[in-house]
Amino acid sequence: MSDLSIRSLSKAFGGVRAVNEVSFEVKRGEFLAMIGPNGAGKSTCFNMINGQLAPDSGSIWFEEKNLTGLVPRDIWRLGVGRTFQVTATFGSMTVAENVQMALISHAGETFRLWKPAASRHRERALDLLHQVGMHEAADRPSRELAYGDVKRIELAIALANDPRLLLMDEPTAGMAPRERNDLIALVKRLVVERGISVLFTEHSMDVVFAFADRIIVLARGKLIADGNAKSIRDNPQVREVYFGTGKTFARAGAAT
Amino acid sequence: MSSFLFQALNGLSAASGLFFVAAGLSLIFGVTRIVNIAHGSLYMVGTYIAYSFATVVGGMLGFWGGIIATAIIVGIIGAVIEVLLLRRIYRAPELFQLLATFALVLVINDATLWLWGPEDLLGPRAPGLRGAVEVLGRQLPTYDLFLIFIGPAVLIVLHFALARTRFGRLVRAATQDREMVSALGVNQAVLFTAVFALGSFLSGLGGALQVAREPANLAMDLTVIGDAFVVVVVGGMGSITGAYLAAVLIAEVKALCIAIGVVDFGGFSVNFSKMTLVAEFLVMAVVLIARPYGLLGREQGAVRSVAEPEEPIRPATRGLKLAGVTVLAVLIYMPLIAQDSPYVLVLGVDVLIAVLFAASLHFIMGPGGMHSFGHAAYFGLGAYGTALLVKWLAAPMLLGLAAAPLLALLGALLFGWFAVRLSGVYLAMLTLAFAQIVWAAVFQWEGLTGGSNGVVGVWPTAPFDTRETFYLLTLALAVIGVLLLRRFLFAPFGYAMRAGRDSPLRAEAIGIDVKRVHWLAFAIAGAVCGVGGGIFAFAKGSISPETIGVGRSIDGLVMVLLGGIQTLTGPIVGASVYATLQDTIMRQTEFWRAMLGGIILLLVLAFPSGIVGALAKFAPRRKDQP
Amino acid sequence: MITTRQFLQIAFAGVCTVAFAQSASAQGTIKIGELNSYKMQPQFLDPYKKGWEMAIDEVNAKGGVLGKKLEVISRDDGGNPGDAVRAAEELVTREGVSMIAGTFLSHIGLAVTNFAGQKKVFFLAAEPLTDKITWQNGNNYTFRLRASTYMQVAMLIPAAVAAKKKRWALVYPNFEYGQSAAENFKTLLKKAQPDVEFVTEQAPPLTKVDAGAVVQALDDAKPDAIFNVLFGADLSKFVREGNTRGLFKNRTVVSLLTGEPEYLDPLKDESPVGWIVTGYPWDKITTPEHKAFVAAYQKKFNDYPRLGSIVGYVTFKSLAAGIAKAGSTDTDKLIAAFKGLKVDSPFGPFVYRASDHQATMGAYVGKIALQGGKGVMVDFKYVDGASVLPSDAEVKKLRPAP
């Protein structure tokens, strides 16, 4: 059974087709990587799935529900978690409060005016922080943390609504290679434990080939390949895009 | 028909005047993000200096040369202000510079009074352009004709200067994204000074050109600043062409209202010329609702605060709670303590009202991140709700008071619904527009509200008709109001507000409906502020449209910023200090405005994160590390 | 932490105030509280202040009243009713003044009137013109010196009727003073000249007149005559545009307050010749009491008096006379004394009417002419306030208070 189903998704910006008739599926429990050179349309694709952008045509289905046209918070309510390419935590809150905020929202308590937030879902928040190895920083202001640690916090936040699907846009961007591997290993462990499906984009091929169950490749807005690590590595079109003439690179870069 | 065409010409010449002052403001605003309230003061000073040139030197040289010289002098004044004052506080929390420029307004006004005296000074007509030419069978002053052309001429020069020069490119880049400029390795300080000087130059030029049209007078600063902000925002921040279009739009709408005059609608006559009172604000509200970034504005790169972000909020410790209870006890016993000086209670009531105003404003400004420039709307709605109920329906006092938060709540729900759809300064200006529209409605609806004279005869009844009991009632309501707001801030709702402010994207991505949260925050703040308005009506026995005026909204901003926007106690301290200071200083000296301005300037320089913000930095940080 | 600090701060504010409060009062003086919008309306109130300072000096030089010197405690009312009421309350509760006087703007005057009625404090309104202070919202504790809007308009009506013009245009600032002046004018003129026609009305916002457009709109209505209520900076703009665009050519203009030096002098050589105005021709009044006043004023301040000087001076002369007549500063006795109180002023003697507490001090009505490059009033005469006020019986109907 498929968890997420993307059907003929398209989006153009001022005549440039950033995403062009892309279709693919994420199966339950699958760890799916989306790769492609800069400007291939990965982020656009992502932003349509998580509701930040409305597609021009095509549809997005999650567990038999049509996500097309829903806003991010409704998509989240259906059980889809996400992390951001550029970290975005709530700077005026502590680490634990960041996670608690997500738990509060998940519990439908956002508009509660009386009982202090600090005492709500604290245990659960600490538990999540423990799982990402950040429990010791629980009471520090989140803005004081190092970049890699913030990524972990974001992961904890993303897990707060017990998502069945996790969207991660370049989860390791800006991290040292060693950190990258650690983080993705952590993610993989957590999602396998929980049976969560994951769609992520990633620059580092090492990470992708080491961890992804399956890989799809975007170039110039089109899906050009879909398969396991070996088949992707051997795919001539992918080779051309990644290792080819450079001309392809240039044009792809100009596209978005 | 020809009369309408001719009025359109009048509108164009009025637009040029508006354009100069707005263009300068737009540049300064776009590049430095400073809400420069003192811009109108520079304009006023421009008219005064030009008057002196025109009368002391006299003749062609004194007038025309004087106008150029004035613009240069005002430009230098602007540069000096930037270097000596504003440069020191760029790293303060957002909007804090507003406080400094507010102080400048006070100081410059008194300095002008001291230098030029209290009388209106009408300059000579422009040499060479004293007469009129016949257009459409009517007399059009040649000076108006000159203004019609000089506006677009300056627009074109500015446009090319910004499009073709390196300075212009930097200005445009900084307007889009302030950080980009420092990333480009440009000396930001020099750029800011230059922009400030240029903006001031334009303002001085605008003021100087007015010398042939209106007398230099001490009310010009505030008269012009409101219009200028409206033009900037309608045109789109940082867009010079937009500023010109907006100036034309507003001036033409006004000219049209005047041209229509009195119209009879089946025995029901409407005087359209009275609409000029709010024309610009109506235009602004419509434009902002339809185009959230003004006519030619573009969405701003998110303004990342250059100041240190705020600390997480923490509940009070036991010792301090104890101290709080003690102080509350002192306040409760104040009527006994102050038996010999009953004025303490009178001032106390005013301070407590100010606290309610500032705390509720801070609620949306600080944790909500929504800068309201029109908070007086809810204060006024509360005051009028109470006063009208008492006056027209002879409602008992407590029922009247209960109406205050209700009416304010309704107003806040209505206006907030539109306002939360915008952000930053556009949101601020839309709230101002709404406040002005409420003000104008109250001002014009003579039959219901008593017009400019207001409602008189709203006095508290037993048992609150003594100073002591009324003070205690006010204290109780203020404490309840402040504690409620505080409670909300520590509750999930308050966290959600801050979440929406810190990172709207992330907040939405964890299921928080940020607009709805902020809308409710708006409503809560409005209702609490309304309570303050209700008490105010009873405390003074009468209210007038001034309770809704811009001045009150700005006072509220000053209190919040003075105390420190990033702390929860800031607004309370700011309100207490400002209200007490104002009362004390107004009594002590003839030049009280300058003195108040001077003190605020000192506070601004000494405490760039507000009084409480500064205290908090000195206080030992207990629970930082677990 | 927060709760505590906030209360500490309020307490601090309170303590400061206590510390600042001086309860001791100088023995042997009569304290009079005065409040006005000094910063908001400096062009009128600067001379006003000089006027009352002179009055106080004169009274005290002669030994004061009831053997005590007069002491004025003056406050800026911040230009808004809220602060004004607080200032009044401060004067009463802390400074212990026995009466208050002053105010300029109508809504502030009304708020203080209302305060006086509620707190049973004697209040002499100096300048605010609104009819409501003595009529609809009048109370037992409030008197008013300055001729009201109604009176000022009524003084001009004979000249307006004499002009025999049919089509009138009105221009007035859009607030209560302007509106009620226009209403009064229309009612009174219609009564005196039933065939009159009001062809247009322009009501620009106060201090923000778009003079060019307003002048043009008036001109386009083709009136025979214009009634103007604009003053201050609005007036200057209006006159200059009107002159340039030929609005006043061959038209009768009747104008309120324009002859007051505060508003006429800035116009200099552009003063609108031929306008029929109320005002104060300070250099041309030849009565001995006025000449003496001008001489003393010029000697003291090396400046000529404006109308504000007269208002300030006479306000405090009135208070001195009232206290002397009452033989006390007791509020009830003061009120009794002010009813029918006769006061000698530079404009001549006048009385405070018992029926509506309005002073009958009049104003000068005349025409504007140019002399020596500046505007002056010519062909003027003094119109006694009593001659334009409604009768006691009529006033009784307007006034709820005794």
Q: Are residues C335 and C190 in the same domain?
A: no
Q: Touching check for C213 and chain B: CB below 8 Å?
A: yes
Whether residue B177 is predicted with pLDDT greater than 90 in this model: the reply is no
Same domain? C198 vs C137: no
Q: C5: helix, coil or strand? A: helix
Range of the domain at C302: 26-148+288-362+392-398
Q: Which residues of A touch B (CB under 8 A)?
A: 50, 52, 71-73, 76-77, 82, 84, 88-94, 97, 100-102, 104-106, 109-118, 120, 136, 138-141, 143, 157, 160-161
Residue B306 binned pLDDT confidence (cut-offs 50, 70, 90): low
pLDDT the model gives residue C10: 52
For residue C168, the domain's CATH number is 3.40.50.2300
Exposed, middle or buried by CB within 10 Å (0-12, 13-18, 19+), for C387? exposed
Q: Are residues B283 and B359 in the same domain?
A: no
Domain boundary among B528, B554, B580: B554
Same domain, C168 and C127: no
Question: Which CATH number do you get for residue B258?
Answer: 1.10.3470
Q: Is the pLDDT of residue C21 over 70?
A: no
Residue B83 belongs to a domain: yes
Collapsing DSSP to helix, strand or coil, B156 comes out as helix
Q: How far apart are alpha carbons B100 and B557 in whole angstroms? A: 12
Q: State the average pLDDT over residues C108-134.
A: 95
Q: How far is B249 from chain A (nearest CA, A)?
A: 30
Contact A92 B310 (CB under 8 A): yes
Give the residue from chain A lying closest to B493, CA to CA: A111
The predicted model gives B571-591 an average pLDDT of 89
A171, containing H or E segment = none
Q: Which of B315, B487, B512 sits opposite A110 (nearest CB)?
A: B512
C263 and C309 share a domain?
no
Residue C400: Cβ-neighbour burial (10 angstroms; 0-12, 13-18, 19+) = exposed
Query: What is the pLDDT confidence band of residue C24, given thresholds at 50, 70 and 90?
Result: very low
Least trusted range by pLDDT, from A74-78, B217-221, B320-324, C381-385:
B320-324
Which of A76, A105, A143 lies at the smallest CB-CB distance from B309?
A143
CB contact under 8 Å between C233 and B214, yes or no, is yes
Q: Cβ C3–B443 below 8 Å, yes or no?
A: no
Contact yes or no, A with C (3+ CB pairs under 8 Å): no
Residue B382 lies in a domain: yes
- Considering the domain architecture, whether residues C155 and C250 belong to the same structural domain is answered as yes
Environment class of B623 (CB within 10 Å of its CB; exposed 0-12, middle 13-18, buried 19+): exposed
Is a pLDDT exceeding 60 seen at residue B403? yes
**Average of pLDDT values for A95-99?**
95
> How large is the average pLDDT for residues C137-162?
96
Please count the residue pairs, one from chain B and one from chain C, whose beta carbons lie less than 8 angstroms apart.
308
pLDDT on residue B589: 77
Token code pair at residue B450: 């008593």
Mean pLDDT, chain B, rounded, equals 89
**Number of independent structural domains in chain B:** 2
For residues B427 and B526, state if they share a domain: yes
Q: Which structural domain, as residue segments, surrounds residue B354?
A: 346-554
In a shared domain, residues B207 and B355: no
Cβ–Cβ gap C81/B454 under 8 Å: yes
Please compute the mean of the pLDDT values over residues B261-285 and round it to a whole number: 86
Measured between CA atoms, the residue of chain B closest to residue C209 is B276
Mean pLDDT of chain C: 91
Burial track B304-329 (b if 16+ CB lie within 10 A, e otherwise) = eeebebbbbbbebeeebeebbeebbe
> Per the domain annotation, does C13 fall within a domain?
no
Taking residues B66-80, report their average pLDDT. Answer: 96
Last residue of a domain, one of B536, B554, B572: B554
Residue B518 falls inside a structural domain: yes
The reply to whether C80 touches chain B by the CB within 8 Å rule is yes
Q: Is the dihedral of CA B5, B6, B9, B14 positive or negative?
A: negative
Query: What does the pLDDT read at residue B473?
Result: 97
Domain end call among B504, B539, B554: B554
Q: Across the A/B interface, how many CB contacts are shorter than 8 Å?
A: 122
Phi-psi region of A162 (alpha: psi -120 to 50; beta: other; left: phi over 0): left
What pLDDT is recorded for position C2? 44
- Asked which of B4-18, B170-184, B348-362, C337-351 is least confident by mean pLDDT, the reply is B170-184
What CA–CA distance (Å, rounded) separates B55 from C62?
Answer: 44
The distance of C357 to chain B (nearest Cα, Å) reads 19
Closest by CA to B417, choosing from B425, B429, B427, is: B427
Q: Which residues of B touch C1 (CB under 8 A)?
A: 314-317, 320, 569
Query: Which letter, b or e, does each residue of B162-187 get, where b requires 16 or more Cβ atoms within 10 Å of its Cβ?
Result: beeeeeeebbebbbeebeebeeeeee
- pLDDT at site B625: 35
**Å between B488 CA and nearest CA of chain A:** 5
A165: its two tokens: 């699907």
| Res. B178 pLDDT band, cuts 50 70 90 | low
User: Is the domain of C226 the same as that of C90?
Assistant: no
- Check whether residue C190 and residue C143 sit in a common domain: no
B159 has pLDDT over 80:
yes
Angle of CA points B440, B445, B451, to nearest 5°: 80
Residue B292 confidence class, pLDDT cut points 50, 70, 90: confident
The answer to the question of residue C4 being in a domain is no
Q: Per residue in C169-188, pLDDT tens?
A: 999 999 889 999 999 999 99
Assign B170 a pLDDT band (cuts: 50, 70, 90).
confident
Window from A220-234, B483-497, C210-224 with minimum mean pLDDT: A220-234
Question: CB neighbours of C15 closer than 8 A, spacing ≥ 6?
Answer: none
pLDDT at C146 over 50: yes
Residue of B495, B507, B514 lying closest to B421 (CA atoms) = B514
Q: pLDDT digit string (tens) for A23-43?
A: 999 999 999 999 988 888 888
Domain spans in chain A, listed from the N-terminal domain onward: 1-79+166-256, 89-162
pLDDT at C17 over 60: no
C137: number of CA atoms within 13 Å, CB side?
28
ipTM metric: 0.91
Work out the average pLDDT over C258-264. 95
Q: What is the pTM of this model?
A: 0.91
pLDDT given at position B184 = 63
CA distance B553 to B559: 10
Residue range B471-475: mean pLDDT, rounded: 97
Contact criterion met (CB below 8 Å) for B252 and B271: no
Q: What is the mean pLDDT of residues B252-263?
A: 90
Share of chain B above pLDDT 90, in %: 61
Number of domains observed in the structure of chain C: 2
Report the residue from B113, B215, B322 with minimal CB separation from C233.
B215
CA neighbor of B579 nearest in space, from B598, B562, B564, B591 = B562
pLDDT attached to residue B183: 65
- Percent of chain A exceeding pLDDT 90 equals 56
pLDDT at site B316? 78
- The reply to whether B441 touches chain C by the CB within 8 Å rule is no
**Inside any domain, residue B417:** yes
Closest CA to B249 of B227, B267, B266, B268: B227
Q: Does B292 sit behind a cis peptide bond, omega within 30 degrees of 0 on the bond before it?
A: no
Q: Flag if B312 and A97 touch (Cβ within 8 Å).
A: yes
Query: Can you give the pLDDT at residue A252?
Result: 37
C8 in a structural domain: no
Residue B252 sits in the same domain as residue B359: no
**Nearest CA to C181 among C152, C215, C159, C208?**
C152
**Does any domain span residue B150?**
yes
Q: What is the CA radius of gyration of chain C?
A: 22
C87 and C139 housed in the same domain: yes
Domain match, C161 and C274 both:
yes
Task: Give the C-alpha separation, A84 to A63, whole Å.
Answer: 23
Of A76, A97, A111, which has the smallest distance from its Cβ to B509's Cβ? A76
Q: What is the mean pLDDT of residues C64-80?
A: 94
Whole-number Å distance between alpha carbons of C279 and C57: 26
Cα separation, B584 vs B578, in Å, equals: 10
pLDDT of amino acid C135 = 94
The pLDDT assigned to B439 comes to 94
Q: Looking at the structure, do residues B142 and B39 belong to the same domain, yes or no? A: yes
CB contact under 8 A, C232 and B120: yes
Same domain? For C164 and C108 the reply is: no
Same domain, B143 and B259: yes
Both C128 and C168 in one domain: the answer is: no
* Rounded percentage of chain C residues whose pLDDT exceeds 90: 89
| Inside any domain, residue C15 | no
Please give the DSSP secondary-structure letter assigned to residue B623: S
Give the model confidence (pLDDT) of A207-255 as tens digits: 888 899 999 999 888 999 999 888 888 888 888 887 654 444 333 333 3
Q: How many Å apart are CA B490 and CA B396, to the nearest integer? A: 35
CB atoms within 10 A of CB B622: 9
Q: With 0-12 CB in 10 A as exposed, 13-18 as middle and 19+ as buried, what is C19? A: exposed
Q: Any idea which residue has 């930037």 for tokens?
A: B82
pLDDT of residue C340: 96
Q: Do residue C280 and residue C292 come from a single domain?
A: no
Give the residue carrying structure tokens 């105390």. B563
Domain assignment present for residue B207? The answer is yes
Helices (H), C193-306: 211-220, 232-244, 261-264, 288-301
Q: Which residues of A are less than 8 Å from B621 in CB distance?
A: none
Does the domain at A1-79+166-256 match CATH 3.40.50.300? Answer given as yes
Cβ distance of A89 and B623 shorter than 8 Å: no
Report the alpha-carbon distance of residue B118 to residue C68 in Å, rounded: 34
Asked if residue C11 belongs to a domain, the reply is no
Measured CA to CA in angstroms, residue B222 lies from B41, B110, B172, B601, C377 at distances of 7, 13, 28, 19, 33
Residue C126 domain-assigned (yes or no): yes
